[in-house]
């Protein structure tokens, strides 16, 4: 938005050049609004050709452009002189650190930071401390950025407030975020206020949140704060599984086991704002061998989630599961979810109607604990007075970034199943995923292996399973 505004002002200045003797001065003022003349000229080159043609006929155009090039030359000469005289370290860093700010404005963050490796940054001027702190935040070193930006703020550099708020938000430290906001006396942009509103929401301070929203008059800022958005995601894959199960594997429907190729697809729509979200998803899996069509499955799921005093209330969560041999089940669940700085908790209770084996009614409970990539999921299903099932899985995702677009993740996990009739099994396994980012989504290759050790041959059996899958995820 700011770039568009600057472009509008520049065009306005250009149009005024032949009409007013002060046109050149107005144009120069607009160029001065950029942090560097290099960025100003770069922006100038993006103007529409019709405007450029008009400018070529302007009597002041070449004067202004020559001045722009001259300023660019001076900035380049100053950089070369500093390099030649000081090697960009030593006395210029200790005595004249402000001279190096052009590196910061040119977004050469790595080079800018390298000059201060042996300098006590805390003793420098507020503008330099601020610039070093922001540079650390740009390269993802939030701890160093937070420390220096706090010092810059104590020195009177109030520009540090919005960035500190963003850092506190990224760390999930909502108390410090709100404390900093309430102690500040500057006007914050809508993008930063959206972090503040989320902080109030996470802390359950609904009254203060509504009071803040009521003070905002600009509708675009309100839309940004409410974070109204609709996202659509689709996934399609083709794979081979040596021991196929219905998906998810713990549905109440009858299980089958066999080798086969399969096609899998999913489609989901999520509509959300600051206070609530609605999601609708469809999942399907089809075996290539149509002679066993009873393994084909479709799942339809609808869920509504509302923020309530810092907790997310889930109601309702409705799932409909259907297979091609007309076996199906319907479930209704409700519960709460809560995200803390480093842990995510979810607990749902519900009822399930299984239209197989005599139309059974089941009670169920499921939960999820996620801590720094380590996940524990459990599911309890009461089939009847004499039969129930307890299932738990735990694992941790280990992620390796190979390049900007390629990521490798490996997930070792263990699954345990226990039935009331003493049948039980344990399944250690490992899976991996190689992802390539593409425009709008990713292409991935996934594979894994697991071994099932069953206590008896009643409801579980020993087996070895391996699978491989090639797929694509796309976000609209």
Tens-digit pLDDT profile for residues 287-332: 765 455 555 788 999 999 987 766 889 999 999 988 776 678 899 9
Query: Are 189 and 48 contained in the same domain?
Result: yes
* Torsion from C-alpha of 320, 323, 328, 329, nearest 10 degrees: -40
DSSP characters for 118-172?
TS-GGGS-HHHHHHHHHHHHHTT-HHHHHHHHHHHHHTT-TTHHHHHHHHHHHHT
Beta bridge partners, 271, equal 230, 278
Q: What is the pLDDT at residue 17?
A: 42
Does residue 316 have a cis bond before it (omega within 30 degrees)? yes
Q: What is the pLDDT at residue 92?
A: 44
Q: Give the position of tokens 């579980």.
A: 460
pTM over 0.85: no
Total domains present in the chain: 2
At which of 194, 226, 258 does a domain end?
Answer: 226
Query: Are 203 and 344 contained in the same domain?
Result: no
Q: What is the CATH number of the domain that holds 402?
A: 2.40.160.40
Q: What is the pLDDT at residue 448?
A: 94
Query: Are 215 and 335 contained in the same domain?
Result: no
Query: Are 184 and 252 contained in the same domain?
Result: no
DSSP characters for 97-122?
GGGGHHHHHTT-HHHHHHTTTTS-GG
**Helix (H), strand (E), coil (C) string for 306-338:** EEECCEEEEEEEEEEEEECCCCEEEEEEEEEEE
Q: What is the pLDDT at residue 89?
A: 47
Q: What is the pLDDT at residue 57?
A: 53
Query: Are 386 and 409 contained in the same domain?
Result: yes
Query: Are 126 and 75 contained in the same domain?
Result: yes
Query: Are 270 and 218 contained in the same domain?
Result: no
At which of 226, 247, 279 does a domain end?
Answer: 226
Query: Are 322 and 408 contained in the same domain?
Result: yes
Burial class from Cβ neighbours inside 10 Å (0-12, 13-18, 19+) for residue 100 reads: buried
Query: Are 219 and 274 contained in the same domain?
Result: no
Token pair, residue 271, equals: 């509509």
At which of 205, 226, 247 does a domain end?
Answer: 226
Tens-digit pLDDT profile for residues 401-448: 898 889 999 999 999 988 876 778 899 999 999 999 998 899 999 999
Task: Flag residues of the chain having pLDDT under 50.
Answer: 1-2, 12, 14-36, 88-95, 246-248, 253-254, 290
Token pair, residue 163, equals: 């960035």
Tens-digit pLDDT profile for residues 332-373: 999 999 877 678 899 999 998 877 656 778 889 999 999 877
Query: Are 317 and 448 contained in the same domain?
Result: yes
Query: Are 354 and 374 contained in the same domain?
Result: yes
In 254-310 the beta strands, taken as DSSP E runs, fall at 260-272, 276-287, 297-308
Q: What is the pLDDT at residue 269?
A: 93
Q: What is the CATH number of the domain that holds 112?
A: 1.25.40.10
DSSP characters for 71-82?
HHHHHHHHHHHH
Range of the domain at 321: 229-475
Q: What is the pLDDT at residue 100?
A: 63
Query: Are 267 and 316 contained in the same domain?
Result: yes
């Amino acid at each position: 938005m700011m770039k568009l505004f600057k472009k509008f002002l520049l065009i306005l200045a250009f149009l005024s050049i032949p009409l007013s003797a002060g046109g050149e001065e107005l144009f120069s003022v607009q160029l001065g609004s950029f942090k560097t003349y290099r960025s100003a000229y770069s922006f100038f080159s993006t103007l529409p050709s019709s405007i450029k043609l008009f400018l070529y006929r302007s009597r002041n155009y070449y004067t202004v452009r020559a001045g722009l090039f001259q300023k660019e030359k001076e900035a380049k000469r100053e950089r070369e002189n500093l390099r030649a005289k000081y090697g960009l370290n030593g006395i210029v860093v200790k005595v004249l650190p402000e001279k190096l700010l052009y590196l910061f404005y040119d977004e050469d963050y790595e080079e800018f930071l390298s000059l201060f490796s042996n300098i006590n940054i805390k003793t420098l001027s507020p503008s330099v401390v601020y610039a070093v702190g922001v540079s650390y935040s740009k390269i993802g070193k939030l701890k160093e950025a937070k420390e220096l930006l706090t010092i810059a703020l104590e020195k009177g550099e109030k520009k540090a407030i919005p960035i500190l708020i963003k850092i506190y938000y990224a760390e999930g430290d909502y108390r410090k975020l709100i404390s900093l906001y309430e102690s500040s006396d500057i006007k914050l942009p809508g993008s930063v206020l959206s972090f503040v509103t989320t902080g109030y929401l996470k802390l359950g301070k609904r009254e203060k949140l509504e009071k803040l929203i009521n003070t905002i008059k600009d509708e675009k800022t309100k839309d940004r704060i409410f974070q109204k958005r609709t996202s659509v995601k689709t996934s399609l894959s083709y794979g081979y599984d040596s021991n196929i199960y219905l998906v998810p594997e713990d549905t109440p429907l009858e299980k089958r086991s066999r080798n086969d190729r399969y096609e899998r697809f999913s489609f989901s729509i999520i509509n959300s704002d600051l206070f609530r979200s609605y999601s609708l998803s469809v999942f399907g899996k089809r075996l290539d061998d149509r002679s066993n069509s009873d393994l084909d499955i479709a799942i339809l799921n609808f869920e509504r989630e509302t923020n309530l005093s810092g907790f997310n209330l889930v109601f309702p969560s409705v799932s409909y599961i259907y297979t091609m041999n007309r076996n199906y089940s319907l479930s209704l669940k409700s519960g709460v979810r809560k995200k803390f700085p480093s842990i995510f908790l979810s607990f749902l209770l519900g009822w399930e109607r299984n239209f197989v084996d005599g139309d059974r009614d089941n009670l169920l409970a499921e939960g999820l604990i996620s801590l720094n990539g380590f996940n524990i999921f459990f599911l309890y299903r009461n089939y009847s007075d004499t039969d129930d099932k307890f299932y738990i899985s735990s694992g941790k995702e280990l992620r390796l970034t190979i390049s900007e677009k390629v990521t490798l993740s490996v997930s070792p996990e263990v699954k345990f199943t226990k039935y009331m009739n003493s049948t039980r099994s344990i399944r250690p396994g490992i899976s991996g995923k190689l992802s390539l980012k593409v425009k709008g989504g990713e292409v991935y290759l996934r594979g894994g292996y697991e071994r099932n050790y069953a206590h008896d041959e009643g409801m579980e059996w020993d087996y070895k399973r391996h699978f491989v899958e090639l797929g694509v995820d796309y976000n609209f």
